[in-house]
């Protein structure tokens, strides 16, 4: 075990650690032809992501199954895979799952920011060794993408559009030629990508500070849009499943009233779509109203119920935790939420005890 974590308990395991048993079962049963450089066949990768009851493989991605198939075909080819969509639609999780199943590691990752440089994408130098011995593989500090090319792995580039365009375009020649020139070590010295190498990038298109990708870079990717869940009943089931997973052993201490989870999902669904179940038009907030955010609120409300309450998850817990989402971004969101509370929630509070509890607890939203 790494000494940095030897005496601590990790908050989040890597996908290859979390699903090690599943990956082993799939590998043992995998009789299908594998693409060059892949540790599992495309059939096995698909089962890893979408689930297989016979092998006790849990479903991990709840969305468009056909998207998974198209993404697998892309990753077998010469194009990179670009996953785009609203924040909170599981793009990063899907990227992690693909890389884990295909090459056994999700750690060849670059996090895109305004401060990402060409060195983060390609390589940098240990300047003490560089001055002492000159440019060599010993003094070269390889990036995650460098390692992925060298060993034939899947690299991940998170939030690529948060990088300046000139930094993004470093990828153009790398994805086209599948090689990285290292002129400091000689005119002809270069790293050639091994079989199995490819790149998965993600982009949240509504984030502030986003930089448009160049046409040249777009041509190096196949784009797939990961969409929000539209089925309200399915979303309710998914939130309950994820809440159980996140709380783990604490879940047995929490009494969940099903209508409370339904209330939470209904609020998110209506504010996300801009329309109530009764057909009334609503202004959608700038804040992210994704399923992932709903799970986060349910998790926080559950912890509040366990540690600061009597263990019963109630609508007022949802209302109190929702404040952190509404006031996270645009001040106008508070007004939009207030309108929702004073129209939709207030009307339902006349006939439903849970909505009444939510409405009474939501007075903190007043602006």
Q: What is the pTM of this model?
A: 0.86
Closest CA to 312 of 325, 301, 324: 301
Q: What is the pLDDT of residue 9?
A: 66
Q: Is 236 helix (H, G, I), strand (E, B) or coil?
A: helix
Mean pLDDT (the chain) is 91
Residues 121-142 pLDDT 10s: 999 999 999 999 999 999 999 9
Q: What is the pLDDT of residue 327?
A: 67
Q: What is the pLDDT of residue 366?
A: 57
Residues 147-198 pLDDT 10s: 999 999 999 999 999 999 999 999 999 999 999 999 999 888 899 999 999 9
Q: What is the pLDDT of residue 318?
A: 95
Total Cβ atoms within 10 A of residue 366:
9
Paired sense of beta strands 312-313 and 198-204, if any: unpaired
d(CA 345, CA 244): 27
Residues contacting 163, CB < 8 A, separation 6+ = 112, 113, 114, 116, 211
d(CA 40, CA 104): 9
Q: What is the pLDDT of residue 335?
A: 86
Tell me, letter by letter, the H, E, C secondary structure of 274-301: CECCCCCECCCCCCCCCHHHHHHHHHHH
Of residues 143 and 86, more confidently modeled: 143
Average pLDDT of the residues in 82-89: 89
Judge whether residue 218 has pLDDT over 70.
yes
d(CA 357, CA 346): 10
Residues 15-51 pLDDT 10s: 999 999 999 999 999 999 999 999 999 999 999 999 9
Judge whether residue 206 has pLDDT over 80.
no
Burial (Cβ within 10 Å: 0-12, 13-18, ≥19) of residue 275: middle
Q: What is the pLDDT of residue 56?
A: 95
**pLDDT band, very low/low/confident/very high, at 228 (cuts 50, 70, 90):** confident
5-9, 273-277, 291-295: segment of lowest average pLDDT: 5-9
**Whether the Cβ atoms of residue 262 and residue 126 lie closer than 8 Å to each other:** no
Q: What is the pLDDT of residue 1?
A: 43
Q: What is the pLDDT of residue 7?
A: 52
């Amino acid at each position: 075990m790494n000494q940095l974590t030897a005496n601590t308990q990790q908050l989040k395991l890597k996908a290859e650690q979390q699903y090690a048993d599943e990956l082993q079962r799939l590998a043992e049963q995998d009789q299908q032809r594998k693409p060059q450089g892949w540790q599992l066949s495309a059939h096995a990768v698909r089962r890893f992501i979408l689930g297989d009851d016979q092998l006790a493989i849990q479903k991990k991605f709840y969305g468009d199954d056909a998207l998974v198939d198209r993404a697998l075909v892309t990753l077998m080819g010469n194009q990179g895979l670009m996953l785009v969509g609203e924040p909170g639609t599981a793009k990063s999780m899907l990227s992690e799952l693909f890389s884990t199943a295909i090459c056994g590691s999700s750690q060849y990752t670059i996090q895109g920011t305004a401060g990402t440089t060409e060195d983060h994408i390609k390589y940098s130098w240990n300047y003490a060794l560089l001055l002492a011995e000159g440019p060599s593989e010993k003094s070269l500090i390889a990036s995650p993408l460098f390692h992925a090319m060298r060993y034939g792995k899947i690299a991940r580039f998170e939030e690529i559009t948060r990088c300046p365009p000139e930094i993004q375009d470093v990828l153009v020649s790398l994805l086209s030629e599948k090689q990285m020139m290292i002129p400091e070590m000689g005119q002809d010295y270069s790293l050639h990508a091994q079989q199995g190498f490819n790149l998965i990038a993600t982009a949240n298109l509504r984030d502030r500070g986003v930089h448009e990708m160049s046409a040249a870079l777009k041509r190096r990717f196949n784009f797939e849009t990961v969409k929000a869940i539209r089925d309200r009943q399915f979303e309710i089931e998914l939130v309950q499943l994820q809440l159980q997973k996140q709380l783990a052993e604490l879940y047995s201490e929490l009494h969940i009233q099903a209508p409370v989870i339904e209330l939470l999902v209904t609020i998110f669904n209506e504010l996300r779509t801009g329309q109530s179940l009764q057909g009334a038009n609503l202004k959608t907030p700038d804040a992210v109203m994704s399923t992932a955010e709903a799970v986060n609120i349910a998790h926080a409300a559950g912890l509040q119920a366990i540690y600061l309450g009597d263990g019963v998850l109630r609508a007022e817990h949802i209302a109190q935790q929702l404040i952190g989402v509404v006031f996270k971004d645009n001040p106008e969101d508070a007004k939009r939420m207030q309108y929702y509370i004073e129209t939709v929630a207030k009307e339902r509070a006349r006939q439903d005890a849970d909505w009444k509890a939510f409405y009474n607890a939501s007075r903190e939203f007043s602006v």
